[in-house]
Amino acid sequence: MLRLLILALGATATLAFAADPAPQDTTASNPLGGKAAAAKPAPGQPRLISWEELVPKDWDPMKEFKGMDLSKLQDGDPRANELLMKMQEVSNNAPTNSAMNGVEIKLPGFIVPLEENKGEVTEFLLVPYFGACIHTPPPPANQIVHVRPRQGAKFRAMDTVWITGKLQTVRNDSMMGVSGYHVTADSVTKYTGGAK
Which CATH number among 3.40.50.620, 3.40.50.2300, 3.90.1640.30, 2.40.50.870 corresponds to the domain 2-190?
A: 2.40.50.870
Sketch the domain layout of the chain as residue ranges.
Answer: 2-190
DSSP H or E stretch at residue 115 = strand 104-117
Q: Are 106 and 166 in contact (CB under 8 A)?
A: no
Q: Write down the H helix ranges in 21-77.
A: none
Q: Measured in whole angstroms, how far is the alpha carbon of residue 94 from the centre of its chain?
A: 11
Residue type, 101: N
SS3 content of the chain, % helix, strand, coil (to 5): 25, 30, 45
What's the pLDDT tens digit per position in 76-134? Answer: 888 888 888 899 999 999 999 999 999 999 999 999 999 999 999 999 999 999 988 88
Greater confidence (136 vs 120) lies with 120
Q: Dihedral of the CA atoms 51, 55, 56, 61 (nearest 10)? A: -150
Top-ranked range on mean pLDDT: pick from 34-38, 57-61, 66-70 = 57-61
Share of the chain above pLDDT 70, in %: 78
